[in-house]
A and B are shown apart, each in its own frame.
Chain A
Amino acid sequence: MNRRSVVSRCLAGLVLATALHAAPVRVFTPGELATRAELVVVGRVVELRAERDAAGRPRTLTRLAVAEAWKGALAGDVLTVAQGGGVLGQEAVESAGEVRLAVGDRVVAFLRRGGAGDWIWVARDQGCFAVTEAAGQPLAGNGHWGAPRAPQAGVSPPHQRPLGLGELRRRVEEAAP
């Protein structure tokens, strides 16, 4: 890495650090997400289901057909991710940072066992990366990390640079071998 690149990265990091220091929401790096996760998989949404848990809480279950496991072992090739809230009957439970998916979506899922033993998203929407294609290259991103196309002029904080699927995998495996 040449000196200019180092300086640019440092300055870009300064912008990010400033933002993260003062922002109420703590944005985790992919490595931090991987450390928190028990399971990191790449999969496609095959079913969405809304139901109530034993205490009557609405919850949304997302069934993922898993193509790859980057961290953790999976018994089968399908798993179910639970999340509080959703649309059920004539009511909805809404909150900031919910993960919303549609059948067919391809995602990288950072998962951990929740309080009731279900797989849940790590840090809500921070733990779900959309996988998209740009110029034939798979990119991963969500509202916090990764941009699906080249950034515009100006500083590109690391979290808003395009994040290739391979790069995300490398970061996951580095943090959680």
Chain B
Amino acid sequence: MSFRLAVLLVALAGLAREAAAFVVPTDAAGNRRRWWLEPLDPRVPTNAVNRATRAVRFQLSAAGWSATNTAAELNAVRAAFGQWQAVPSIRLRFEEGAPVPGMTDVNPQDGTNAVFWAKNSVFINGGLDDISGLPALTLVRRFDDTLAIAEADITFNGVEFSWFTDLADPTRSRYLLEAIALHEIGHFLGLNHATVGGATMLFSGDPGAGNAQLGLSPDEAAAAQSLYGAAAAAGQFARLRGTVRLGGAAVLGAVVTLEDGAGTVLAGTASGADGSYDLPALPAADHLVRVTPLDPRFASVTLLRGQDLSSTFTSANTAFLPVTNAPVALAAGANVTRDFTLTSGTPLRIVRLLTPSTGLGPTYPTTFKPVRLPADGQPRWIGVFMTNPPAADVRLHVTGPGVSLSAQTNILNAVGSLHLVAARATAATGAPAGLRSLLLTQEGQTAWANGYLEIPPTAPDDNFDGLDDRFQRSYWSPWTTNASAPAADPDGDGFINSREFAGASNPTNRLSATFRILSVSVTTQGARVAAETAAGKPFQLQRRDTVPGAAWEDAGPEIVVPADEHEFLDPAVTNRIMFYRVRLTP
């Protein structure tokens, strides 16, 4: 049959395989589609990559999508770029050019990386492409010899889709711009769709806020570290690679998943046409690795098919039994080879997930997207759907500690002819956060939904800086700006942001910080007041009488303090203890 209809990202001529970790086009020489920054590919347009800084430049359409929320829309895209740039141990930097007023289209040949909202027409790219039905589209121009990216343009469909920016908005009918931008920037950086359920680069996700794809997963972090890693950090990671074979033949599209000791998926990929797979930029530790099949191309109900990754995997071999959880020890800097030989057969399959809820039935909402189970000690029903009737020994499991399952219930024909295996799941407070996997065992077989159950962190940190994102989002837009960094002190009050967070003060208001009084002692020479301060900053000690309603008054002169603690003297108070406070002077 000569027909080859691409469903997703195409594998164009010259791509011999597509098997690097995460999923990225790779050629026979091992080149992967990415921006070539060190050394810089000289063919890249000067407006696409800054020659001096090697920063990848982008320019936003100044008009955004809406007339009333434009600034937040532009900042949502900036925050998405900021999250990719914040992945630890990478040298990737973005640089924004001035927003472009009057942008009316994209052109992957104009030398500019544009971010554009189509608002008047679904025809883009010179009228050559109809983006009807697509929330967003990224066009990537690359060279044939090294797969180096020359230019990329992102278009959001503002004609057919509504966009919002506020994570507190519970709507599910509009699209969260930051989440979709995060995904599209993954394409902008060279990636195809992922094999890991909770990955941002999964082919599909919820449109609204609170979806598992908001925030980069370890799989995307590994992608950035592998494609754009800082040379100095290379030795801290390990690499696992090998081949997957069945009956001596290379297997296309076998999913290789690496999981840590907490049952959290770290990375995943799919083997290429030559059976090879490559998982670079892995954290050094003892891990587990398994090989599982994708869903058949033409199965009636599926969780993840080859064409959901890219057209390269449309003909993936899916008729083999999973190889489950082989231990693998990965030391820093190690390059470990692990080959797999598969056994042919018809695997047990998880074809849908049950949307978690506090009650079970009478209807059973299905999803093919990852689900969330908060670590709050509250029970919720989770479950998986299968096409085979559940056997007497069928069991549902969740990888890793801290999640308990009880009251497993099997419901035949719960949705059409899909059978449900559900259980009441409780993630204990403190259960390790991350992308867990659901697995089903039955009559000696196992089916996996790799990374499809997210235990969300109690404090989100999608920009990897150790500071609670909710704090940063409440004060900055974009919340990934340099001013929001934990060690930054944008209001100049001597309290860095992490300290402002701990003290629940406003990091953008220098008068909001609370400097604690440490001790007060009164003698005939006056009152000595020890207080927290900030070295090199001017402070004023103030007193107030203990009589209710008394006003604050200055006690002594303003002092530029030499250290983060200082003892002030109030010579006017010699016989009793007053109320005191210290103020950073404006």
Contact = CB atoms under 8 A, between A and B. Distances in A.
Interface of A: 8, 11-12, 14-15, 18-19, 22-28, 36, 52-53, 55-59, 82-85, 87, 90-107, 112, 114-118, 120-128, 130-132, 142-144, 147-149, 151-157, 160-161
B126 A24 contact: no
A127 B354 CA distance: 32
Contacts, number: 242
Contacts of A95: 9, 129, 137-140, 187
A156 to B, nearest CB: 4
A23 B207 CA distance: 7
Interface in B135-191: 135, 137-145, 150, 160, 172, 175, 180, 187
A96 B12 contact: no
B133 A25 contact: yes
Contacts of B207: 22, 24
Interface string B107-149: 1111000000000010111111111111101111111110000
Nearest to A53: B126
Given A102-B2, A157-B300, A57 B126 contact: yes
Given A124-B130, A152-B387, A25 B369 contact: no
Contacts of A99: 5-6
Given A15-B418, A120-B128, A58 B365 contact: no
B5 A128 contact: yes
Best-surrounded residue of A96, A144, A156 (most CB of chain B within 10 A): A96
A36 B132 contact: yes
Contacts of B135: 24-25
Contact of A58 (B108, B121, B145): B108
A154 B128 contact: no
Task: State the majority secondary structure of interface residues on A.
Answer: loop
A15 B352 contact: yes
Contacts of B13: 87, 92
Contact of A100 (B10, B125, B129, B368): B10
Q: Which 10 residue pairs are nearest across A and B when measured between Cβ atoms?
A: A115-B127, A143-B7, A155-B416, A154-B387, A84-B128, A151-B300, A115-B123, A84-B125, A100-B6, A11-B416
Nearest to A122: B130
Contact of B139 (A23, A26, A90, A93): A93
Contacts of A157: 300-301
Best-surrounded residue of B10, B307, B367 (most CB of chain A within 10 A): B10
Best-surrounded residue of A87, A94, A104, A126 (most CB of chain B within 10 A): A94
B139 A121 contact: no
Contact of B128 (A116, A127, A132): A116
Given A23-B204, A153-B417, A126 B367 contact: no
B366 A94 contact: no
A150 B3 CA distance: 19
Nearest to B206: A22
B296 interface: yes
Interface in B394-451: 415-418
Nearest to B122: A123
22 contacts: A14-B416, A15-B416, A18-B365, A19-B368, A23-B204, A26-B132, A26-B133, A28-B132, A57-B107, A58-B109, A83-B129, A84-B129, A85-B139, A95-B140, A102-B4, A104-B2, A116-B128, A120-B129, A154-B300, A154-B301, A155-B417, A160-B299
Given A57-B109, A122-B132, A151-B300, A98 B4 contact: no
Contact of B3 (A26, A102, A144, A151): A102
Best-surrounded residue of A25, A114, A122, A149 (most CB of chain B within 10 A): A114
B43 to A, nearest CB: 9
Interface string B195-214: 00000000011110000000
Best-surrounded residue of B3, B205, B387 (most CB of chain A within 10 A): B3
A118 B109 contact: no
Contacts of A122: 130, 132
A56 B109 contact: yes
A55 B300 contact: no
A94 B9 contact: yes
B368 A53 contact: no
Contacts of B139: 84-85, 93-95
B366 A92 contact: no
Contacts of A56: 107, 109-110
Interface of B: 1-10, 12-13, 107-110, 121, 123-135, 137-145, 150, 160, 172, 175, 180, 187, 204-207, 296, 298-301, 307, 311, 351-352, 365-369, 387-388, 415-418
Contacts of A102: 2-4
Given A112-B130, A124-B130, A96 B298 contact: no
A35 to B, nearest CB: 11
A96 B415 contact: no
Contacts of B128: 53, 57, 59, 82-85, 114-116, 118, 120
Contacts of A94: 9-10, 12, 139-142
Given A91-B150, A101-B3, A128-B5, A84 B126 contact: yes
Contacts of B4: 100-102, 105
Contacts of A59: 126, 128
A87 to B, nearest CB: 5
Contacts of A93: 108-109, 139-141
B10 A98 contact: yes
Contact of A116 (B12, B126, B369): B126
Nearest to A120: B130
Contacts of A151: 298-300
Contact of A105 (B3, B109, B204): B3
Contacts of A156: 300-301
B6 A55 contact: no
B411 to A, nearest CB: 13
A87 B126 CA distance: 17
Nearest to B13: A87
B130 A12 contact: no
Contacts of A91: 141-144, 150
A104 B1 CA distance: 9
B553 to A, nearest CB: 61
B125 A125 contact: no
A96 B127 CA distance: 17
A101 B108 CA distance: 22
B175 to A, nearest CB: 7
Contacts of B137: 95-97
A84 to B, nearest CB: 4
Given A124-B134, A142-B7, A152-B300, A132 B1 contact: yes
Contacts of A90: 143-145
A44 B252 CA distance: 29
Contacts of B311: 100
A120 B222 CA distance: 38
Contacts of A127: 130
